Structure formats: structure tokens, C-alpha cells
Structure 1
Amino acid sequence: MLDQYLFIFAQAHEDFRIPELRSIAELHQFPIKIPEDIDVKRPFAVLGLEKEEHARILARRCILVKHVYEFYASATSYEELHEKNRALHARWDKYAADTSFKFFVAGFNQSIPQRRQKDVVESFSYMDFQGKIDMKNPELIMGCFEEYYDKQGTMRHKHEGDGNFREVFFGRLIEDGSARSLVQKFDVKKRAYYGNTSMEAEISLLMVNQTLASPGKVVYDPFIGTGSMAYTTAHFGAFVFGSDIDGRQMRGKENQPGIMRAAAQYGVAERILDLGTFDVTHHPWRCGGFLDAIITDPPYGVRAGAKRLGRRETPRSLRRPISAPSTPRPDDQPYIPPMKLYELSALATDLVLLARYLLRPGGRLVFFLPTVTDEYQEVDIQTMTCEGMELVANSLQDFGVWGRRLVTIRKTTSQDYPPPAFDTAAAPSDDVDGAHVPAHRHFRQKYFQKFRSPTEGDEEGSQRSLSEAIEQVAEDNNLP
């Protein structure tokens, strides 16, 4: 039978909590029982674990865990709470004789006055602890947490409604969540090298936990950019290889590559295996089945668009005539091949096929996928999977009219598969009558149209579209 533990979560990225807990439990190979009716919007959850050490492991690795307590009781009134706690006399009586201790009372969505905090603490006098009261460094910490309904946005005194809580929880502190301090350590603003598309630290750490990164594993980021996921992945002991179609993102403007400067800042430079500049659709991998995980945030065109080698058809009126350069080209001037847009839905499908080729059995693909909220359906993610790959988690970071989904897919087969063909011509068409169009298809266009239907466009939108087309032609042909 599993013991019960009270988890107290940070009130951020609620949809990511359960996948993170399950991933770390899988990494360390122990069972965890999560209630089917768990409400992730609440900061408290009672979970089942085999032993206290497993609770400590989760507190030390999970980014969204603030504290873990041995769960004693919960109730909607203190009378009920004390009745349940008395029945558990054997659980806490062993600490009563000579253990230094501290009691404290905290409220969620409510400030509790000092006077009532004292009354609540004294109501536990029947526990008869004889040890020294030590408020700074006690051997035992007993916590009592009152959860109130959210009243944000209402005008009231900070103590109004005091005592009318939704539920109260009581338990013994096992460990404070130490992994949350990594959010500050990897803060982008404190980093030696970053760009306008660098992933924020907290999300980067959550992504890494989904990969099951640990010492000795090899993780690949095919759209590494400025390396946000590389540093956090390497922090947990994994080796990282990264690539990007634009080497300038990885190098920066100084002699030492920007990614290596930042990696040295975090003390993980020796775990960055190498960096390569190439188009993922023309990759150099000659064999598969050797990676433990692939982690990436594919560009989807808001701040930077996904590109692949090749030229796209452009209107004749926008083509620039070819002429000889007015000045000789310097001998050391690098050749920049022409590139074209890489449509997001094709990229996502290709990424899953590439992962099936490169991952070892049990390896994971973890990536973000932006979707339009009103258009999203579960089938959008399900249709991206293929034979030998299964969906593990799908967590939403909600921005209102759109959101981005952290998708985790596991390779379930030991069968060898060929690399993907990257054939965009074979991609499903939007023109098929009755066919469901995934909510991430043509996301860039939808974003700049402010998620309005094409019929709602105005003159401003038309002018913007023309401007974007001219800009894109210049990019495709490497023009200034």
C-alpha cells in the first residue's frame, strides 16, 4: 500500500504538473499514484508513493514542486481535522518526546492574522510535544494550510472572510522543493549569450524533465538557436548535440561561439558535444537509434520563421533581375544558400518521423507546437504520431486565442526505420472537402492576421501581406 504525501505546487504552468511528476517517477523507476479527479488549478494535491525517499527525489528534481509533506489529514473544519489527526496518533507520537519542532499556519488566497495563527497552533496542544520550540532550525516542522477560494479582482480587506476556508491540510515537512532555484540560475536576463527567441528558464527546465535527462544520456536539439535547452539539459548530466540552419544563431558575434560562452557560465561546456550548421531536412546522420532524447522548440514564424534549403516560387513582378555585382565579392565571403519557408504542420510531422529514426527504443521527443485555441482538436496531435511512436503528454501553455502545447512522444519499438523523406508535396492538403485542418497548420499566417478568417481581412492586412511577401522574397534570394 502506498503512503500519502501532500504536494504543494507553484501556481504556474498547472497543465505541466502531472506530466512532470510522472516523468521523474519514470526516470527513477518508482510508482506514483495520482488521483483521477485531481484539480490542477489547486496548489495542493495528495499523492501516493512507496517511500519517503521518493518524495525527496521529486522535490529535488520537479520544477513546479515547492514543498512535500507527509500527509496527516485534511478537512473542511478544524473539528474534523483534529478528529482525523488524533486517530493517527502513532504517526506523530514518536516525535513528541524530545524532538525540536516548529508549527506554522499559512493561507492560500487569504492572509491569516497573527492572533488566529496562534489560536490554530494552540489547538494542536493535544499532540503534547515536549521537545524544544525552535523557529530557526527545528528537527521537525508541522504545517497547517488553509485553502480559500480565489477572490482576486474583488475589493475587500485582506482578512475579510478569515476562517471560511475551502479546505485545510495538515502534515509533516519532508523536503522543500530545491529545483525551483534553477529558474533563477538559468534566468535568460543573466545569461552571457541569448537572443530574441531564447526560451524562458522555467519552461526550458520543464521541457528537460520531460526528456528524462540524466548523466550519460545523449540529447539532440535540431533547432538549437541560442541554446536555451542545451544548458538545462547538460545541467542534469546529459550530453548535448545541437544544430541549426543558421549558424549565426549559435555563434554570436564574438570569437568564442555564444552557446559555448553561456555553457561555460553554467559550468556545462564539457557536456556540449558539438554544434553543427545544417538543414535538418538534409541532415548528416547515416544511422539511427542512438539518441536518448530530442528536445526542441521549432521556429513557427512569430519572431523567427522555420526555413529549409531551396527556392520557392515567387510572383514574376517581385523577382529581381540578375545582374553582375558592382564590386568584386571578397574571397572570404561565405556562400549562403537560398532558403524557403518550412510550413509548421509539415515540420512537425517530419520531426516525429526523424525522431523515430534517430531515437533508441524508449527515447523521447519533446517539442512545442503552437495551436489556435478555437480550432484545436485532440486529433491534431494524435494524427502526428506514427507507427512505433506514442503520445506521452500534451500540456497547454495558454495565451488566450492561441497557445503552445508541450508535446512528449515516446518511441515504443525496437524496429529500425528509414529516415523521413521530407517530402512536402506528400503533405495533406487544406483543399480536401470535409478534411479537418489542424490548428497549427499555417500558424504564421493566422498569427499575423490576428486569428481572423481570411474574409475578415482589411486594407491594412492586405498592405501588411504585400510587405511580408516582398520581405520573404528578399530572404529567399539572399537580397539586402
Structure 2
Amino acid sequence: MTIRYLVFFAQVHPEFRLPELQSIAELYGFQVIKPASLPGVSENEIWNPSRPFWVIDLEDEAHAIALAERCILIKSIYELYGHGNTYEDVHSQTLACAHLWQRFKEDTSFRFIVTAYSDRIPMSRQKEIVDSFAFMDMRGKIDLKNPDETFTCYEEYPDARYKTKEDDGKNTLLHIFFGRLVTVGKARALVQKFDVKKRSYYGNTSMEAEISLLMANQTLASPGKFIYDPFMGTGSMAYTAAQFGAFVFGSDIDGRQMRGKGDSPGIMIAATQYGVAPRIIDLCTFDVTRNPLRCGDLFDAIVTDPPYGVRAGAKRLGRKESDRDRRVQKRLANPERELLQTTAQEDYVPPTKPYELSDLVRDLVRLARYLLRPNGRLVFFLPTVTDEYEAVDVETALCSGMEVVANSVQDFGNWGRRLITIKKTTNESFGSPFEDGEETDDDSKNHVPAHKDFREKYFKRFQKN
């Protein structure tokens, strides 16, 4: 038998709520069930991302506590006794749920809280609302500071950010919820802990703390897991994954980002600040397309924010076509001198060329299939043009044995970045995509994804011509 709960969310990144709930439920081995129907609530409003309250069904209170301890977006969870558009509805449902709250009736200290979302309730009206629940006949001690149980009544009003022109000047009561506080969101404190502004080492491409924590939850990071970031940068995803107990290995084609300028690597300095340095296994500098990893099925998850050219462009080893032509001419003119310059110099830096985003994404998915263990996850951000994006853009980047389990967007207007979670669904082992080439299907060859040449589109302000 399931128990009904009310989840109160922070009103940030609403599109990421459901993937996070489902990921943490999968991590701990239970299900978050969506109610088939709710009195006074339309089907479209049951899990509406624009509203801060969601009603969910769980099999055990311990599951609600587990969600609150890991989900970054949860502020609090309540055992729901009644809800509706009027207090008559709330009272009647609360009476019907008497078996849930009567255990606290005799000798449990308690308090009542009456509050509103997106509005204020005068003290005189708060007292009237509390008095309207006198039928519960709570006989324990009233303790306003440290009660055993807290009963909360929420009035929900329209969020100002989602009001239409017709709603201007109005503040219509949308819904009323009443229940017992089970737990507050413990994980939200981590957003302040990992605040980039407080970090001892960071760069201009460092991921903001809240997003990196959400990404770590999508990887199912937990003690004993082994996680890889192939575009490590300044390590934002490494710290949060390690915070949840995972071991982390990172690489980047540009070692300067990982090292910083001090005697000790910058990433290790920040990891020490957060107390997770022992979980950073190693940092290596190499081109992911020519990686030294000689066996697959190594990692439980791969998490990364691939460079897409707005603040830093993706690179891979090789020469641009124009450079290659000039080198050929030099080699023909003086082959011995050319060979000496490229192979005998100790400080020789191999040349790099741009790594087009759509090619990078396709290669990343195939690399993940090679390196991930069965049921392992690939979690990464994909920038997309709002007017051009289609679901097929992601689908055509997939290969056999890889399946999309979550795709949510952070909207910036003309463009957005999608947090993509892909799961390895096969037990079969595969070779490295850069050694054993795999032919893509006809649809992948013919379809041009909207994220192709994203950098050029971004700096042209997404003008269609």
C-alpha cells in the first residue's frame, strides 16, 4: 500500500525535477509513483513544472527521507492528509485520513504552521485556519520551537513568473495542502558548499554548483562507484560526484586547466578544500579520440560538460587542412629538417584542430558504450538552438546498446542546454570507437542536427540566414 506525500520544490531548474527524482529512486531501489488522479486537480497539473508542489506516492516513509537527503531541488516533504480548492475539501479528506495522524493525538508535542506560496496570510487569518482544524483534537503539548511533529497548511497562489496578462492584479487561490512535515531537503545545503565563488580554484568555464550537483545525481554517484570526466576542465563535476562517495578519474586535452599555476594541481587544491581529494584517483592529459585506455567496461558513469565553443572550443589532435598543405610543401622542400623539427624537440607541442560539436557528441556516445559497465550512465550537456531543435537530433547520435533515459532543458531564450542522460542497456562488450570504426545508419548520415556548427550560430545570434 502506498502513502501519499507532498513535495515542495525550489523554483529553479523545474525541468530537471523528474529526472532527479527518478534517478535517486533508481539508486535506492524504489519507485516514485505519479497519482492517476487528484480531487480538484486536472491531469496536466498533477506534475506541472511551473508549480512548486507535487503530489507523489511512495511505499515507505524511508523513501521520502532518501529523496530529501539526495535531491538538490527538494526543499521539504510532507505526509499529505488533505488538499483541495476549499477548506471544506481539505477538512473532509483530513478526517478520512485520521488513521495517519491519530497516532500523534495523545502525547506528541506539535505545532501548526499556516503559510502561503507567492502571497502572505495575515496573522488573524492564520489563527482562524488553525482553529478550523480543532476537530483533530490534538492533546499533546504545543511547542513552537522544537516540536515532535509539525503540521503545515499551504495556500498556493499563482507564481508571478508564470502569470498571464489576465492574471495581472489578481492573486487567486489555486490550491490548499495540509499535512505533516516528514523531512526538510538536506542536499540543498550543498549548493552553498560548492559555490564557485567560494572555491579555491576555478576557471571561466567552471560549472555552477547547483547544476554540477544535479549532474552528479544523474550519474547515480555513490560509494564505490567509478566515474570518468573526459573533458575535466577545472573539475566542477569531479567534486560533486566525489562528495557522494564516488571515485573520479579525469582527463583533458589541455592539462593547464587541470594543473593551474601553483606547485600542486589546482583541481587537487579545490578537492582538498571540499575534503574529497582521496577520491580523485588520477588526472591525465590526452586527446580523448586517442586515449590510452586499452580496455572497456571500466566506469560506472561518465559525466562531462563538453566544450562547445562559446567560452572554450573543443579541440582534438591533428592539423587543419590549410596547415597540412603547408607542412606537405615544407616536407617536400627539406624532408630531413622537417623530420628533425617534429620528432627531436623535447618541448614539441602536437598541433590541434577544431572538434565539431555534432562529431564530438556522436563519438562521446560510442566512447561511453566502450568504457561503461552494463547499466552505466553517460551524463552530458548538449547546447541546442531553440527554434531548430528536434528530438531526432539526440536519437541520431545514439548507437546500439545505448538508450536515452532523460532529456531536460535549461532555457536561455534563443538557445538552451539539454542535460542528456544515456544508459548502456547491453551486456555486450565493444571496442574503442576510434580503433574499430562503426558505420552509422542512413538516418544519422542524412539528418543534420540543430547543434551542428553551434558556435557559428551562437555568434551570429542564431540568425537563420
TM-score by length of 1: 0.87
Q: Which amino acid aligns with 1:139?
A: D
Structure 2 distance, partners of 1:315, 1:352, is 30
What's 1:247 paired with? 255
| 1:63 counterpart residue number | 72
Other structure's SS at 2:104 match? coil
**Distance in 1 separating the partners of 2:119 and 2:436:** 56
SS at match of 2:408: strand
- 1:385-432 CA-partner distances (Å, limit 9, x unpaired): 1111111100100101100000000001111111103899988999x8
Q: Residue 143 of structure 1 corresponds to which residue in structure 2? A: 152
Are residue 419 (structure 1) and residue 432 (structure 2) matched? yes
Q: Which residue of 2 aligns with 1:172?
A: 180
The residue number in structure 1 matching 2:353 is: 340
Residue number among 113, 124, 131 corresponding to 2:122 in the alignment: 113
Give unmatched runs, 5+ long, in structure 1. Answer: 155-159, 456-480
2:225 aligned with 1:233, yes or no?
A: no
Q: Deviations over 1:348-401 (max 9, x none)?
A: 000000000000001000000000000001111111111111111001001011
Partners in 2 of 1:171 and 1:253 — Cα distance? 54
User: Which residue does the alignment assign to 1:450?
Assistant: 461
Verify the 8 A CA contact 1:346 1:424 in the aligned structure 2: no
What is residue 27 of structure 2 aligned with on the other side? 27
Change (3 A) 1:181 1:415: same
Distance 1:263 1:332 in 2: 35
Partner of 2:387: 374
Task: State the secondary structure of the residue aligned to 1:256.
Answer: coil
CA RMSD of aligned residues (A): 2.7
CA distance in 2, matches of 1:185, 1:428: 45
Give the corresponding residue for 2:17: 17
User: Which portions of structure 1, spanning 4 or more consecutive aligned residues, are displaced by more than 4 angstroms?
Assistant: 315-319, 321-324, 422-430
User: Is contact 2:249–2:282 with CA below 8 Å preserved after alignment?
Assistant: yes
Mapped partners of 2:355, 2:454: distance in 1: 12
User: The residue matched to 2:418 in structure 1 has which SS?
Assistant: strand
Q: Give, in whole Å, the separation in 1 of the partners of 2:324 and 2:405.
A: 47
Q: CA deviation at 1:439?
A: 1.3
Distance in 2, Cα, partners of 1:376 & 1:209: 25
1:361–1:412 CA contact under 8 A, matched in 2: yes
Structure 2 equivalent of residue 400 of structure 1: 413
CA deviation profile, 1:47-81 (whole Å, cap 9, x unmatched): 11110001000000000010000011110011111
Post-superposition offset of 1:90? 2.0
Q: Distance in 1 between matches of 2:241 and 2:93?
A: 44
Q: 2:448 aligns with which of 437, 440, 447?
A: 437
1:239-258 CA distance string (max 9 Å, x none):
00000000000000000000
Task: In structure 2, give the amino acid aligned to 1:32.
Answer: V
Is the 8 Å Cα contact of residues 6 and 54 (structure 2) preserved in structure 1?
Answer: yes
Unaligned 5+ residue runs, structure 2? 37-43, 164-168
Choose the corresponding residue for 1:302, options 282, 300, 310.
310
Equivalence map 1:188-267=2 (5 Å): 188-267=196-275
- More displaced stretch, 251-260 vs 383-392: 383-392
Aligned to 1:466: none
Aligned 8 A contact 1:346 1:427 in 2 = no
Tell me by how many angstroms 1:150 deviates.
2.7
Please tell me the residue identity of whatever aligns with 2:415.
W
1:333 deviates by 7.2
Q: Answer yes or no: is the 8 Å Cα contact 1:350–1:422 preserved in 2.
A: no
Asked whether the equivalents of residues 32 and 58 of structure 2 are also in contact (C-alpha less than 8 Å), the reply is yes
Match of 2:86 in 1: 77
Q: Which moved more, 1:405-414 or 1:435-444?
A: 435-444
Is the alpha carbon distance of 1:316 and 1:294 closer, same or farther for their aligned partners in structure 2, counting shifts above 3 Å?
closer
Count of residue pairs brought into register by the alignment: 441
Distance 2:320 2:437 in 1: 12
Structure 1 residue 450, shift from structure 2 partner = 0.6
Contact 2:7 2:74 survives alignment (8 Å): yes
Conserved 8 A contact 1:389-1:412: yes
Residues 77-134 of structure 1, C-alpha deviations (whole Å, 9 max, x = no match): 1111111112222221221111111111111111222221121111111111111111
Which SS does the other structure have where 2:237 is aligned?
A: helix
Greater displacement, 97-106 / 203-212: 97-106
Q: Distance in 1 between matches of 2:232 and 2:456?
A: 24
What secondary structure does 2:130 align onto?
A: helix
How far off is 1:316 after superposition? 11
1:280-299 mapped onto 2 (5 Å cutoff): 280-299=288-307
* Residues 224 and 296 in structure 1, CA contact (< 8 A), matched pair in contact too: yes
Aligned partner of 1:128 in structure 2 is: 137
Distance 1:200 1:318 in 2: 42
CA distance in 1, matches of 2:242, 2:162: 42
- Taking the aligned partners of 2:435 and 2:257, their CA distance within structure 1 comes to 24
Q: Which residue of 2 aligns with 1:476?
A: none
- The alpha carbon displacement at 1:441 in A equals 0.7
Structure 1 counterpart of 2:145, one-letter code: K
1:163-189 deviations in Å (ceiling 9; x for gaps) = x41000010010000100000000000
Kindly provide the amino acid, as one letter, of the partner of residue 66 in structure 1.
K
- Identify if the C-alpha distance between structure 1 residues 342 and 409 changes in structure 2 by more than 3 Å, giving closer, same or farther: same
**Partners in 2 of 1:231 and 1:315 — Cα distance?**
39
Offset of residue 332 of structure 1: 10
Instruction: Report the equivalent of 1:365.
Output: 378
Residues 92-101 or 172-181, more deviating: 92-101
Task: Compute the TM-score of the two structures, normalised by the length of structure 2.
Answer: 0.89
Letter of the structure 2 residue corresponding to residue 342 of structure 1? Y
Separation in structure 2 between the aligned mates of residue 305 and residue 423 of structure 1, nearest angstrom: 26
Label 1:83 to 1:407 Cα distance change in 2 as closer, same or farther (>3 A): same
- Partner SS state of residue 183, structure 1: helix
Q: Is the 8 A contact 1:291 1:360 kept in 2?
A: yes
Secondary structure of the residue aligned to 1:314 is helix
CA deviation after TM superposition for structure 1 residue 313, in Å = 1.7
